[in-house]
Amino acid sequence: MQTLLDIVLWMQGKTLLPVLAMFLLLVASLYWPGRKAKVERNAMIPLEDDR
């Protein structure tokens, strides 16, 4: 059980950079030039389901 606790504590300190990198990649992909039409079309899907 102590080994599992050690792994969890180690991961708490080491996951900030990968999560930040994934977030920045996601934001960059959303605002990439030429993707606006696709993003807006996908954003309208929940609203079209209500009709």
Q: What confidence score (pLDDT) does residue 24 get? A: 96
pLDDT in tens, 1-51: 889 988 888 888 888 888 899 999 999 988 888 888 888 898 899 888 766
Predicted model pTM: 0.56
Rg (CA), the chain: 19
Tell me the domain boundaries of the chain.
2-49
pLDDT at 51: 63
**35 within 8 A of 29, measured Cβ to Cβ:** yes
Helices (H), 1-51: 2-14, 16-30, 36-43, 45-49
